[in-house]
């Protein structure tokens, strides 16, 4: 009975998410399938509709996106990889600044306790920050909701900000996809092999963001070696966006509307600070390192790796550049958050 009920909720959630994506697509919104699925499922959590996705639903779709991201790799991408060092060093400064600003905001304006404020302020490593915050005595549910709200708000606002300030149309730029009929059996086999084999490789090597990075590396290797030049069917890319969008929206399930609304309001202030910092750093780096403003914005934005990579893909912005920066951001936060927290506690005592 429980299995049947879970399957029913899963089917309902996918149907709602797909309907939201379709509606957004019909009105020509940027990243329609991702944003539509995210908004539709988040709204349903407020209305107490029993939406939920099993933990195993997202990895296959993340692998699909990873395999697609790998198609953007070419030898030219690495021709100025040396310039990445400056940007990556700047990223460390950015993390420290945004973390401090967000922590100060959560403590002095939002009034959260020190532990909850600290682990809510760290821009990355959602699961790790929730776990560490809970272990140190913070409010686990509030930390989880604030991080979920941050990702939700960044994914929701960033496409519109980019379109507003650059004039680019995200739905009509960059991304290469094919109709289902245009995909040969060989291409489909290579694509599925890159997605599945890459996911296994990511798990075996214990890569960060393993279900995204593993397939991306395998796909990139195949394309760089000239073995295949497969393109992802548009329907598969839309389906992947629907599942990932639904996963973001479903993170609010189980919490009361009042608590979700509070987390959204609190997170909005911190998200604004982080995005302003992103624009500041991106402007400075763009002045110093050439006209790559959008690439810096996507690389520094405090959103999820898969979501920011998708936007980069649609804008035909250097996907490897964006992915590497987000992986470094997450690893830096995960590795340094606990150590900095202990240092702060020592100074307080």
Angle between helices 319-348 and 210-224 (to 10 degrees): 150
How many C-beta atoms lie closer than 10 Å to residue 180's C-beta?
10
The pLDDT-based confidence of 261 (bands split at 50, 70, 90) is very high
The pLDDT-based confidence of 97 (bands split at 50, 70, 90) is very high
At residue 198, does pLDDT exceed 90?
yes
Q: Are 123 and 270 in contact (CB under 8 A)?
A: no
Q: Are 51 and 31 in contact (CB under 8 A)?
A: no
Q: What is the mean pLDDT of the chain?
A: 85
Query: What is the model's pLDDT at position 1?
Result: 43
The pLDDT-based confidence of 224 (bands split at 50, 70, 90) is confident
Three-class SS state of 176: coil
What does DSSP assign to residue 173? Answer: S
Q: Which two tokens stand for residue 28?
A: 């020509």
The pLDDT-based confidence of 160 (bands split at 50, 70, 90) is confident
Q: Mind listing the pLDDT tens digit for each residue in 273-297?
A: 999 999 999 999 988 766 688 889 9
At residue 55, does pLDDT exceed 70?
yes
The closest alpha carbon to 326, from 240, 213, 246, belongs to 213
Multiple choice CATH, 2-348, 3.40.50, 1.20.1530, 3.50.50, 1.10.530: 1.20.1530
| Neighbour-count burial of 97, counting CB atoms closer than 10 A to its CB (0-12 exposed, 13-18 middle, 19+ buried) | middle
The CB-based long-range contact list for 285-290 (8 Å cut-off, 24+ gap) reads 285/86, 285/87, 285/90, 288/86, 289/83, 289/86, 289/87, 290/83
List strand residue ranges (DSSP E) for 177-308, in order.
177-178, 232-233
Residue that is written with structure tokens 């150590």 in the block: 339
Task: Write out the H or E segment, with its range, that includes residue 14.
Answer: helix 2-26
Q: Which two tokens stand for residue 336?
A: 């340094």
Task: Categorise residue 206: left if φ over 0, alpha if ψ from -120 to 50, beta otherwise.
Answer: left
Q: Where are the domains of the chain?
A: 2-348
**pTM of this structure:** 0.85
């Amino acid at each position: 009975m429980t299995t049947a009920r879970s399957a029913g909720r899963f089917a309902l959630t996918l149907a709602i998410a797909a309907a939201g994506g379709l509606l957004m697509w019909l009105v020509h919104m940027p990243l329609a399938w991702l944003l539509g699925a995210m908004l539709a499922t988040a709204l349903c959590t407020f209305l107490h509709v029993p939406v939920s996705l099993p933990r195993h639903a997202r990895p296959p779709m993340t692998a699909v996106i990873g395999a697609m991201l790998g198609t953007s790799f070419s030898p030219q991408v690495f021709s100025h990889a040396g310039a990445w060092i400056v940007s990556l060093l700047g990223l460390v400064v950015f993390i420290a600044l945004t973390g401090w600003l967000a922590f100060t905001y959560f403590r002095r304006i939002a009034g959260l306790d020190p532990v909850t404020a600290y682990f809510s302020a760290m821009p990355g490593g959602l699961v790790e920050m929730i776990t560490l915050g809970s272990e140190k005595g913070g409010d686990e549910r509030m930390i989880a909701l604030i991080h979920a709200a941050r990702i939700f708000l960044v994914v929701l606002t960033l496409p519109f900000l980019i379109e507003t300030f650059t004039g680019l149309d995200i739905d009509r730029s960059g991304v290469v996809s094919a109709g289902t009929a245009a995909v040969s059996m060989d291409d489909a086999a290579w694509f599925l092999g890159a997605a599945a084999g890459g996911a296994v490789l990511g798990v075996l090597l214990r890569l960060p963001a393993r279900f995204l990075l593993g397939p991306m590396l395998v796909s990139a290797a195949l394309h760089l070696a000239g073995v295949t030049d497969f393109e992802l069917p548009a329907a598969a890319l839309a389906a992947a966006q629907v599942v990932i969008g639904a996963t973001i929206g479903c993170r609010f399930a189980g919490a009361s509307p009042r608590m979700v609304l509070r987390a959204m309001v609190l997170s909005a202030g911190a998200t604004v600070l982080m995005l302003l910092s992103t624009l500041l750093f991106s402007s400075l780096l763009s002045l110093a390192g050439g006209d790559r403003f959008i690439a810096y914005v996507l690389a520094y934005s405090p959103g999820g790796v898969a979501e920011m990579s998708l936007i980069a893909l649609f804008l035909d912005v250097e996907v490897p550049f964006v992915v590497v920066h987000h992986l470094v951001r997450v690893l830096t936060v995960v590795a340094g958050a606990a150590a900095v927290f202990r240092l702060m506690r020592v100074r307080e005592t």
